[in-house]
């Protein structure tokens, strides 16, 4: 087999991991965020103001390094990694509690008021989705990255399968409709504005398509199709969902999401569509046959996007007291448990999760897991607020913003490094260097106040 065929086979015919392992992996990021915040409190109290470059080093060591090693060399001892990181958090929490004797009780904290322009755990959710995406895109081609974490072929729950759905959910979470931005002017002008806003995604999609075809880069065609890619999916979802929300009530986005995903599943079950998507291999017949996964899965992704809109509407309501935010976070957690119960039933009575078709179980899983992850990050925010109040440290910075910025060097790494035959330590070294470059670029842009969004 040629090198291209070997790489294609390396990411093909995979079945994913268990739902439990995906849930377990969700604890890594919140615990890392908690450790980062607590370390910042202790460093600030011990040394005062730190040089700005130390912020980058601290964030990389506390947030990026654990994520990389937990999905590579330590992936088989994930529980032990989480327990170890949690013990570190507990030790720092105890030290802060006994060192800084505060009269602030938990009940007093619940009654206190907080102010911020953006909901912190929503921002952090988007940050981690992008960070994990950036890591996985490169890591998946290395043997050190477990095959069970990669995207599944037809059915199953791979970590990267969730990453795709979470990316769509995150976009819906902060879309203009979720942020209650009024539609200025006519509806036609609003649609035109949405079309203009997705032009960069279309350009990126075309650029990826041309670069892949011209370089003869290895492709996994059952992922989206022969000519399709995720950039095209994101663009069409954004415009399609905006058109729906112009004529349908935004506050019932969850109901629209449920109807779309439910009717889509009925169509899969009562027609030959499921067989066409999963079994048909005649990709030379026409454009639809060549790109069936990308085209039909958009229905499920629109449903996920609309669910994200509903959650965004709820989360970004005006609240001032900590107890109100804690109630919100706990309701998100409860909603996650309910959806997981429905998912369990649907997988028994209907079919397993399928990213390839973006079926109803996939939509349920994505939203349930996203809500669980979001609520965990929210709980960490509450713990950090209590620790900050106890220590008197009022300068805990939010993690630097990594959303909407991903490295374009991934394909270059895959083209210049024999990813299949790299040893484990060198693979991790490449991933860490790659992520450090990503983070440094974004950090510099943040410090200089430069945004890459110009449209």
Tens-digit pLDDT profile for residues 128-155: 999 999 999 999 989 999 999 999 999 9
Q: How confident is the model at residue 403 (pLDDT cuts 50, 70, 90)?
A: very low
What percentage of residues in the chain have a pLDDT greater than 90? 58
**pLDDT above 50 (res 404):** no
DSSP 146-184: -GGGSPPSSSSB-HHHHHHHHHHHHHHHTSTTTTT----
- Secondary-structure breakdown of the chain: helix, strand, coil percentages, each rounded to the nearest 5: 70, 0, 30
Q: How confident is the model at residue 235 (pLDDT cuts 50, 70, 90)?
A: very high
Residue 187 half-sphere exposure toward CB, CA atoms < 13 A: 7
Asked if residue 389 lies in contact with residue 137, where contact means CB atoms within 8 angstroms, the answer is no
Report the pLDDT averaged over residues 149-177.
94
Per-residue model confidence as pLDDT tens digits over 320-366: 788 889 999 999 999 999 999 999 999 999 999 999 999 999 999 99
Asked if residue 14 lies in contact with residue 153, where contact means CB atoms within 8 angstroms, the answer is yes
DSSP 7-31: HHHHTSS--BB-HHHHHHHTTHHHH
pLDDT given at position 416: 64
**pLDDT above 80 (res 51):** no
**pLDDT above 90 (res 240):** yes
Tokens of 10: 């390396």
Residue (of 158, 146, 153) closest to 77 by Cα position: 146
**Residue whose token pair is 């109807």:** 259
Q: Which carries the bigger pLDDT value, residue 7 or residue 104?
A: 7
Q: How confident is the model at residue 398 (pLDDT cuts 50, 70, 90)?
A: very low
Compute CA 244 distance to the chain's CA centroid, rounded to the nearest angstrom.
24
Asked if residue 434 lies in contact with residue 138, where contact means CB atoms within 8 angstroms, the answer is yes
**Mean pLDDT score of the chain:** 87
Per-residue model confidence as pLDDT tens digits over 379-395: 999 888 888 776 666 54
Tokens of 24: 């377990």
- How many residues are recorded in the chain? 455
**pTM value?**
0.91
Lowest-confidence region among 105-114, 278-287, 376-385, 409-418: 409-418
Report the pLDDT averaged over residues 98-103.
68
**Residue whose token pair is 């999760």:** 353
Report the pLDDT averaged over residues 73-92.
95
Max CA pair span of the chain: 73
**pLDDT above 80 (res 80):** yes
pLDDT given at position 414: 63
């Amino acid at each position: 087999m040629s090198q291209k065929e070997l790489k294609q086979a390396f990411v093909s015919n995979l079945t994913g991991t268990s739902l439990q392992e995906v849930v377990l992996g969700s604890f890594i990021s919140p615990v890392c965020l908690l450790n980062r915040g607590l370390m910042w409190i202790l460093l600030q109290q011990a040394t005062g103001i730190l040089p700005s470059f130390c912020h980058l080093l601290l964030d990389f060591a506390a947030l990026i390094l654990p994520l990389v090693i937990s999905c590579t060399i330590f992936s088989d001892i994930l529980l032990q990694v989480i327990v170890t990181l949690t013990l570190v958090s507990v030790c720092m929490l105890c030290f802060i509690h006994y060192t800084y004797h505060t009269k602030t009780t938990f009940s007093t904290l619940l009654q206190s008021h907080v102010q911020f322009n953006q909901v912190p755990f929503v921002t952090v959710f988007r940050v981690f989705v992008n960070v994990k995406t950036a890591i996985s895109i490169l890591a998946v081609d290395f043997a050190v990255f477990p095959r069970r974490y990669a995207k599944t072929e037809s059915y199953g729950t791979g970590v990267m399968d969730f990453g795709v759905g979470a990316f769509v959910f995150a976009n819906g979470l902060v879309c203009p409709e979720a942020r209650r931005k009024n539609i200025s002017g006519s509806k036609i002008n609003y649609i035109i504005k949405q079309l203009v806003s997705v032009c960069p995604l279309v350009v990126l999609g075309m650029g990826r398509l041309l670069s892949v075809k011209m370089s003869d880069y290895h492709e996994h065609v059952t992922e989206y199709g022969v000519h399709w890619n995720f950039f095209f999916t994101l663009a069409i979802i954004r415009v399609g969902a905006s058109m729906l929300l112009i004529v349908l009530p935004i506050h019932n986005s969850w109901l629209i999401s449920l109807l779309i995903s439910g009717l889509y599943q009925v169509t899969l079950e009562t027609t030959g569509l499921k067989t066409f998507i999963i079994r048909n291999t005649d990709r030379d017949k026409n454009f639809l046959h060549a790109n069936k996964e990308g085209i039909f899965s958009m229905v499920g992704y629109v449903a996920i996007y609309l669910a994200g809109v509903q959650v965004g509407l709820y989360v970004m309501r005006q609240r001032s007291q900590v107890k109100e935010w804690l109630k919100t976070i706990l309701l998100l957690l409860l909603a996650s448990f309910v959806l997981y119960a429905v998912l369990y039933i649907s997988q028994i009575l209907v079919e397993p999760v399928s990213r390839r078709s973006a079926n109803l179980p996939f939509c349920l899983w994505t939203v349930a897991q996203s809500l669980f992850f979001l609520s965990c990050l929210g709980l960490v925010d509450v713990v950090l607020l209590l620790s900050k109040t106890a220590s008197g440290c009022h300068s805990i910075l939010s993690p630097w913003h990594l959303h909407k910025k991903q490295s374009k060097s991934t394909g270059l790494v895959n083209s210049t490094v024999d990813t299949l035959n790299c040893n484990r330590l060198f693979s991790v070294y490449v991933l860490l260097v790659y992520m450090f470059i990503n983070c440094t670029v974004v950090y510099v842009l943040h410090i200089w106040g430069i945004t890459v969004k110009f449209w």
